[in-house]
Chain A
Amino acid sequence: MKILVAEDEPVSRRLIEKALKQANYEVVAVENGRLAVEQLCQPQGPRLALLDWVMPELDGPGVCGVVRRQRQQPYVYMILLSSKESKQDIVTGLESGADDYLVKPFDPEELRARLRTGLRVLQLEDKLVEAREDMRFKATHDPLTLLFNRGVILDLLARELARTRRQKGCTTLLLGDLDHFKEVNDTYGHVVGDEVLREVARRLVGAVRSYDFVGRYGGEEFLVVLNNCEAGAALIRAEEIREAIAGRPVKTTRGLLPVTMSLGALTSQFVADKTVEEILQLADLALYEAKAAGRNCVKVANPSVSAATPDCSVR
């Protein structure tokens, strides 16, 4: 564990450094408060700190205040070291944002014990953050494919469409559906069906750019949001994605299975006046046309007609 020691007086600094190295800490030693803040506010900076009270440039309580304001997460556990030992000093030190207070000259064993307390607090924070992130992931992702779930991909689509309108850009939406997927489930069972869905998800993510979005829209339906993708490139991108699925069979526990996907594509520049629901309806109708045209193909919706009767030309 990395620990910052901020102490201007070199003998004490070396003593602390030695005591901490013996306890297997990785010590970063600095001689003033400004350098302490620089270290502690780095993204990968130390999360444990021993701060002398009286230091040049910025004192220990000053360091605590700046760090509490500037570095919200992860938490930094700070112990003030000082020869000041009045109740008022201790209160002032703790009120500045310090977590603990140790009077100099300190006993090395007491110092190490207090640092272990700090480590317990940091470990607890890590566990809480991990649990929160786990819950956040579960709330936003489909548990089988690990893609964004329906609610999130629709939110992302709405956000992208709004941004596109604002910036007069263009977003392409692809609604894809696996062909004859029910037969996979009926013939090989749902375990194999799940294997196919997971692999399809992996291929979809691999086929788009890092700033595009892929979500599971329904059972075997997927929604892809291609940001900054204009009409000229939309069909090419959609074909690449179709080929990423159909190009090679999916390896399952029951052997290699050929899998194809039909896609309905829609480019936002033609639907500036439509709601997200209307846009999805148009994409769905284009997908329906792709299915009707024999599957394993892409159809581009032409919304200039009407959402109820889209003009979808076969490509």
Chain B
Amino acid sequence: MTETNDRSLEATVNFPELLARVDHDYEFLRELFGIFQQQIPSLLQSLQEAVAAENMKQVEITGHTLKGMLAALAAPHAAAAAALLENLGRNRDKIGLEDALARLKYALAVMVPELQRFVSEVRP
């Protein structure tokens, strides 16, 4: 059984919540993670381009999509970082845009490997 009560893991992904969400169906969890891995590069690229171009509408849309995806994977911090970008985009607030993007990247850099490890190790 994978250790799920580690503090760092709890901070990035709420594994009990995630497992409950997939009804402890580990194959399904792997499938969801596969979808996430497939989607995340293009979403991040789209977000980076939108931030660089200060395309606030696109920042809002991509931030919203990422927020939903990360919340569905029970990753609260990464989801909050995406939500911040969505709000900046909605409010056409360009101040802090780069910092918010960096915050999201950092959250993903911590969260993705942890989730990957959990998904590859977890067994029924």
Please list the residues of chain A having a beta carbon within 8 angstroms of any beta carbon in chain B. Answer: 8-12, 14-15, 18-19, 22, 52, 54, 56, 83, 104-105, 108
A305 to B71, CA, bound (A): 87
The reply to whether B21 and A15 form a contact with Cβ atoms under 8 Å apart is yes
Judge whether B68 and A9 touch: CB under 8 Å.
yes
CA distance A83 to B86 in the complex (A): 12
Q: Looking at the complex, which one of A18, A52, A56, A83 makes contact with B67 (CB distance below 8 Å)?
A: A83
Q: Does B119 contact A (CB under 8 A)?
A: no
Given A54-B64, A104-B68, A105-B72, verify A11-B36 contact (CB < 8 Å): yes
Show 12 A/B contacts (Cβ-Cβ < 8 Å), sorted by A. Answer: A9-B68, A11-B73, A12-B72, A15-B72, A18-B25, A19-B23, A22-B23, A54-B61, A54-B64, A104-B72, A105-B71, A108-B21
Indicate whether B35 reaches chain A with its CB closer than 8 angstroms.
Answer: yes
Query: Across the interface, which residues of A come within 8 angstroms of B65, CB to CB?
Result: 8-9
Question: Would you give the shortest CB distance from B7 to chain A, in whole angstroms?
Answer: 22
Which chain A residues border B72 with CB–CB below 8 Å? Answer: 9, 11-12, 15, 104-105
Q: How far is the CB of B60 from chain A (nearest CB, A)?
A: 9
Q: How far is the CB of B22 from chain A (nearest CB, A)?
A: 7
A108 → chain B closest CB, angstroms: 7
Interfacial chain A residues near B74, Cβ < 8 Å: 105
- Chain A contacts for B25, CB-based, 8 A: 18
From B67, B68, B69, B71, residue with most partner A Cβ within 10 Å: B68
CB distance from A29 to the nearest CB of B (A): 13
Which bracket fits the contact residues of B?
20 to 34
The residue among B23, B61, B72 with the most chain A CB atoms within 10 A of its own CB is B72
Cα(A11)–Cα(B73), bound, Å: 8
1/0 per residue, CB under 8 A from A, across B40-70: the answer is: 0000000000000000000001001101110
A11 touching B64, Cβ below 8 Å: no
Complex CA–CA separation, A105 to B68 (angstroms): 8
Query: In whole angstroms, what is the CA distance A14 to B29 when docked?
Result: 11
Q: Which of A9, A11, A14, A56 counts the most chain B CB atoms within 10 A?
A: A11
Contact B71 A104 (CB under 8 A): yes
**B25 vs chain A, min Cβ distance (A):** 8
Taking CB atoms and an 8 Å cut-off, the chain B residues in 84-110 that contact chain A are: none
Q: Is the CB of A12 within 8 A of B21?
A: no
A83 — which chain B residues lie within 8 A by C-beta? 67-68, 71
- B32: chain A residues within 8 A (beta carbon): 11, 14-15
Q: A residues within 8 A CB of B10?
A: none
Task: Find out whether the CB atom of A10 lies under 8 angstroms from the CB atom of B28.
Answer: no
B39 is an interface residue with CB less than 8 A from chain A: yes
Determine if A11 and B21 form an interchain contact, defined as CB atoms under 8 angstroms apart: no
Assess A9 versus B21: contact at CB under 8 Å? Given A14-B32, A18-B28, A54-B64. Answer: no
Residue of B nearest to A81 (CB): B68
Given A83-B71, A104-B71, CB of A11 within 8 Å of CB of B39 = yes
- Please judge, given known A-B contacts A8-B65, A10-B39, A54-B64, whether A15 and B71 are in contact too, CB under 8 Å: no
